[in-house]
Amino acid sequence: MTQFENKAYDLEERTLAFAEHIIDLAKKIHKTTVTIPILDQLMRSATSIGANYCEANGASSKKDFMNKIFLCKKESKETEYWLRLLAHADADVKNDCRLYWKEAHEFTLIFSKIAHRTSK
């Protein structure tokens, strides 16, 4: 059971909590020429997941909704990528990165499922 599961059925809250955890993680990282660009990309993708999901919930059409859900999936996959690189770049946060990678991967699976069901 992860720390995110208590909000498992409220994706807006869950994605917001995830973004907050990523912000907290970024504050712990020793800033170097290697970690700064990774953190920049990670912050953009991880915080974008929830923002796009909020936009999806306010979508003006099914097509608009699908577009935002696909963006959520894309940003989740990108977040997985940057978390792997950050774990490699800073061994001190490897365990945190693994935990957050798992959550990002769950988002990828959730948004894939939503996209699949909505496209029918």
Question: Which H or E run contains 73?
Answer: helix 62-89
18-41: pLDDT as tens digits: 999 999 999 999 999 999 999 999
Q: Which sequence spans correspond to the domains of the chain?
A: 10-118
CATH for 10-118, options being 1.20.1440.60, 1.20.1090.10, 3.90.550.10, 3.30.499.10: 1.20.1440.60
Q: Give the E-state strand segments of 8-71 in sequence order.
A: none
Below-70 pLDDT ranges, the chain = 1-8, 120
Those residues whose C-beta lies under 8 Å from the C-beta of residue 9, and which sit 6 or more positions away, are: none
pLDDT of residue 2: 52
pTM: 0.90
How many residues in total does the chain contain? Answer: 120
pLDDT of residue 15: 97
